[in-house]
Structure 1
Amino acid sequence: MALRLRRLDHVGYGYAIYQGQALVATGKGAINTLSHVFDAEAIGALKGLQKALTLPSNADTQRWLCIDSTSVICCKRANASDTSQWAFLESHRLIDRHAVNIRWSPGHQGITGNEAADSLADAGAKSDIVDPGPTAQPTISGIGSIARSLAHNVTSGWWRKNEPTLSGGYRKWQLDYALKEPMELKLSRPTLHRLLALRSRHSDFEAYHKTFQA
């Protein structure tokens, strides 16, 4: 079974199930728009596995779940992620019960199953048909993206409002407002001291001395 995902308006998934070289079943669908491709890969792999387990097979049949995302494979084997956790936990249960093997299947390599699943994922995203239940719910990663975007908009708006009130000495550097640790803090203390002095003009500069001599 091969799996490929594409992001359009919805996030779509697709799967193709093979017995030997014969294509025996396919499936596709979409998940909530507040989600990521990672979620679709997790859910699509589960949907494909569930379908494969309903097909006729021999007692000695070996089942392989082929996925092109190493991060999804890691979570399928153990340590389910917080986002789409329900899909990973159900996969764990089925994988353990039916002794399913997992294999990495690199994408964009002309692998027949991947190409088929890729087309199905496109069709699933375009169909806007979302299965009921957890699949239709926003995911943690999708909600997190919205939260980060809102926080960025708030801080950016605050900076646009307050940056003009700074002195010309600061504004000429055209500094952005960032919450992450700036690269400058990795400098040595003497170097950082001189950089801060240069940017703030609060040090041994002619303009600084003139200001305090006035």
Structure 2
Amino acid sequence: MKCIHSPNSRTKQEAATEFNDFYDLLPREDIVIFSDGSKLANGNTGGGFVGYQDNHKFCEGSLPLGRMKEVYDSEAIAAFEGLKAAISSIESRIATDIYICLDNIEVAARLLSKSTGSSQDTFSAFRQLASTWHNGTVHIRWVPGHKDVAGNEAADKAAKAGAALPQPTGAYSYAGLRRVTKGLRQKAMNQLWSTVIPTTYRDLEIFTSPRNPKELSLPRPFLGRLIAIRSGHGDFASYHERFLHQDAQLLCRCGARKSPVHFFFCSIAKRNHPWPKGKPADILPFLCGTYEGAEVLANWTKANGFYTNICPLHLPPPPILKGPIHSL
């Protein structure tokens, strides 16, 4: 078997043009099998293949594969079934080489080597079947999908038709089981989070705990303040009093006690940079509980210097009076 023409640095359109030129120059007796896989929104999975010789379609198959498999599996199964149909066909009697063309480069590579992932039995069966072809060589060729390659488009339709057929039941593939367990894991994490969520997070309507939140891309100084707002652990009057911080500044310049959401109510800050009209219960969860709102809040606090000038960690000392001191 041979694998040729991976994407490399070409655009998909360039690769499609090159493939069509290659296809037009193939010997008339060679067989070309286009295969593809599909998974519908309802979870149904299907595979499909279409076979050509001398630009004449001589075989086609649509395979219902059930909800337990992924597109990766259906691509592999469709390639195997396509090769099996080609070898068992009457047209194979005069054929020299067989080309298996698919738009999944990972599956194309696995068809040539041992696999430790999903559909291992299918890849192994494909290699064994290909080794029985003695008329010539079985080639694996990548073809760009959805780029006006007629055979690939036909295989795509056949795969979708397979996914629309009544689905069989059976064991999960490795890829399918990974998808299911990933979904169950996330569901379990969300359920756990709903039971241990801090009150401050609940008030801000933060009901998920993503592994890599977008907020990590915010400027580091503001990210620290956002975490303080969400957790309640920061430069706030109640926090300082709880831990008996004797030298803490408990009041903002406006005279109000510092709190996680004081920025929203501060009379000095609102004087030059007012917030949009709306209820705090509606606006604060957006500003403090979402990435998009945090960006707005970061720009607002930077523009008015809220944390550096209006409500800093420590107020600057009073100015030193110059000149002679007269005693009474």
Among 176, 191, 207, the alignment partner of 2:238 is 207
Separation in structure 1 between the aligned mates of residue 145 and residue 237 of structure 2, nearest angstrom: 61
Alignment RMSD (CA, Å): 3.0
- Corresponding position: 1:41 with 2:75: yes
- Corresponding position: 1:140 with 2:174: yes
Identity %: 31
Provide, for residues 24-83 of structure 1, a one-character-per-residue CA deviation record: whole Å limited to 9, x for no partner.
111111112111111111111100101111123357611100011111112112242421
Provide, for residues 87-110 of structure 1, a one-character-per-residue CA deviation record: whole Å limited to 9, x for no partner.
111112223443310101111122
Separation in structure 1 between the aligned mates of residue 243 and residue 130 of structure 2, nearest angstrom: 74
Higher helix share: 1
1:91 corresponding residue in structure 2: 126
- Corresponding position: 1:70 with 2:105: yes
1:5 corresponding residue in structure 2: 37
TM-score by length of 2: 0.54
Q: Which has the higher contact order (CA 8 A, sep 6+)?
A: 1
Unaligned runs of 5+ in 2: 1-32, 246-328
- Corresponding position: 1:24 with 2:58: yes
Separation in structure 1 between the aligned mates of residue 34 and residue 110 of structure 2, nearest angstrom: 17
Kindly state the Cα deviation for residue 136 of structure 1 after the two structures are TM-superposed.
4.5
Which residue identity lines up with residue 90 of structure 1 in the other structure? A
Which residue identity lines up with residue 146 of structure 1 in the other structure? V
Deviates more, 1:18-27 or 1:178-187: 178-187
Relative to structure 1, the CA distance from residue 191 to residue 129 in structure 2 (aligned partners, 3 Å threshold; closer, same or farther) is closer
Deviates more, 1:106-115 or 1:1-10: 1-10
Kindly state the Cα deviation for residue 208 of structure 1 after the two structures are TM-superposed.
2.1
**What is the DSSP-based 3-state SS (H/G/I as helix, E as strand, rest coil) of the residue aligned with 1:77?**
coil
Deviates more, 1:200-209 or 1:26-35: 200-209
> Is the radius of gyration larger for structure 1 or structure 2?
2
Aligned pairs, number = 207
- Corresponding position: 1:123 with 2:143: no
**What is the DSSP-based 3-state SS (H/G/I as helix, E as strand, rest coil) of the residue aligned with 1:3?**
strand
Provide, for residues 159-202 of structure 1, a one-character-per-residue CA deviation record: whole Å limited to 9, x for no partner.
22332xx243x445544543635567799998876665554343
Q: Does the CA-based 8 Å contact 1:32-1:138 persist in structure 2?
A: no
**What is the DSSP-based 3-state SS (H/G/I as helix, E as strand, rest coil) of the residue aligned with 1:50?**
helix
Unaligned runs of 5+ in 1: none
Relative to structure 1, the CA distance from residue 97 to residue 186 in structure 2 (aligned partners, 3 Å threshold; closer, same or farther) is farther
2:141 corresponding residue in structure 1: 103
Q: Does the CA-based 8 Å contact 2:114-2:124 persist in structure 1?
A: no
Which residue identity lines up with residue 104 of structure 2 in the other structure? S
TM-score by length of 1: 0.80
